[in-house]
Structure 1
Amino acid sequence: MGVRGFGDLEAAIMDRLWVRNAPATVRELHSDLLPDRDIAYNTVLTVVDNLYKKGWLRREREGRAHRYEPTRSREEYGALLMRDALDEAGDPAEALVRFVGRMSADEAAALRQALQAHERSNAK
């Protein structure tokens, strides 16, 4: 299953939900977005509903409204995008070499730790 990046408004809504770290109604999301963009409530409602239908959000009824929350963390989303990028590369090994070549020392250290943890879990 391919994962494409979010559109501008989708990304803004997902960002608000990830930052909130708690479910939110469309009205709350609309209020959060208003300082940065002049946007209609119905537009936010439509985009939130689309994200729900795509499986990026789950919802729970609260009175007459729904509370929405992400089905995946920001980190899981980033990992899915990286996996897709690697799958699209003509030479995945070369893409990894180039990717690692652009990492900071801290990012490279985090990658080493992740690889070591991955190797330990596969050795079991």
Structure 2
Amino acid sequence: MTGRASPGRRQGGSGMVEDGGDARRPHGGLVADVLSVLWAAEGPLTPQQINAALDRDLARTTVTTILTRLYEKGTVVRTREGRGFAYAAADDAAGLAADRMRRELEKGPQRDLVLKRFVSSLSGDDEEALRRLLLESGES
């Protein structure tokens, strides 16, 4: 695949693909929308069901590719349904955010510095909530 956009489409400076003035969300936004559909679902959904819930004109393979990548990262789980799969979120939004924070913390060699900067950027309410949660976790 080349770096050029298809005829009639152009890559905007924001990374969004535009087609005739109709801007589309960047890929990360679509992933977030797919996860939102899964979090709202009462059970596993097929790619077709997710595509219908998104109410967009997406290629069948677009949603399947996103789900496959999320499965490979452990963000979603899948079960066999007919000849394909049905997908469900492996964790809720808070669990996913906490996992991302933990992975980022594990990347850096200066964990204390990262934590210090994180805590210093918190609002007073968030700092108080963090203190309370740390005290509660120490009591267990």
* Distance apart, 1:111 and its partner CA: 0.7
Distance 1:107 1:22, change over 3 A: farther
2:33 is aligned to: 12
Task: Could you tell me which runs of 5 or more consecutive residues in structure 1 were left unpaired when the two chains were aligned.
Answer: 1-6
2:129 is aligned to: 110
1:70 is aligned to: 89
State the number of aligned residues. Answer: 113
Q: What is the distance in 2 between the residues matched to 1:90 and 1:63?
A: 46
- Which residues in structure 2 correspond to 1:71-90 (within 5 Å)? 71-90=90-109
Deviations 1:20-47 (A, max 9, x none): 3532221121022234xx4212211222
Deviations 1:67-121 (A, max 9, x none): 3111122222211211122223342212212111111222112211210122112
1:23 is aligned to: 44
Is the strand fraction higher in 1 or 2?
Answer: 2
Is the helix fraction higher in 1 or 2?
Answer: 1
Identity fraction in percent? 33
1:3 is aligned to: none
Tell me, yes or no, if structure 1 residue 101 matches structure 2 residue 120.
yes
Distance 1:86 1:65, change over 3 A: closer
CA RMSD of the aligned region, Å? 2.3
SS in structure 2 at match of 1:106: helix
Distance 1:91 1:54, change over 3 A: closer
Q: Say which structure, 1 or 2, has more relative contact order (CA 8 Å, 6+ apart).
A: 1
Q: State TM-score, norm by structure 1.
A: 0.73
Distance 1:20 1:103, change over 3 A: farther
Q: What is the distance in 1 between the residues matched to 2:107 and 2:71?
A: 26
Rg larger for: 2
